[in-house]
Structure 1
């Protein structure tokens, strides 16, 4: 059984590896992490809708290669574009909250 007193908080790991929030290295990590998470969300929603990347691209007037880059977290995406992919392309609603 693991000793609960030796558990490291994920934020502590991030600080150790990438530095404090606001530093260049940490900012890059946070941006890359966000792109990855949005890509995973898009891919899952697309699969749930039984659409291929090509079909989603056609519905939204973009290219399959762009959808692929987003889903792999390799492309930054504007919120307006993400909104269009979700609402126009997938017929779903995009809800954003600040916590």
Structure 2
């Protein structure tokens, strides 16, 4: 392994440039994981169970669990519903 100067260099070395199939797969899985972690933290902060969140939003506990483990793709509209309606929080999305 060459000297890596930052995280982006490490990603390029391990998964390739952005836009390549391997890198695209990594980026998608990484995003799913991060969204799941954020949902889990917000749910715990709200002191509700996965089952309670599922009931509030018309989803299934197993789906909430898969999202929180980063094992399920999620549409923005569904994530919005979980955060805004289920947890009473505000979802902010920015493009940088």
Deviation at 1:7, TM superposition (A): 5.8
What RMSD, in angstroms, separates the aligned Cα atoms of the two structures? 0.9
Deviation at 1:27, TM superposition (A): 0.1
Q: Residue 89 of structure 1: which of 55, 75, 86 is its match?
A: 86
> Does 1:64 find its partner at 2:28?
no
- How many residues align? The count is 94
Q: Could you list the runs of 5+ residues in structure 1 that have no partner in the other structure? A: 1-5
TM, length-normalised to structure 1: 0.92
> Does 1:33 find its partner at 2:33?
no
Report runs of 4+ in structure 1 exceeding 4 Å deviation: none
| Equivalent residue, structure 1, for 2:42 | 45
Deviation at 1:46, TM superposition (A): 0.1
TM, length-normalised to structure 2: 0.95
Higher alpha-carbon Rg? 1
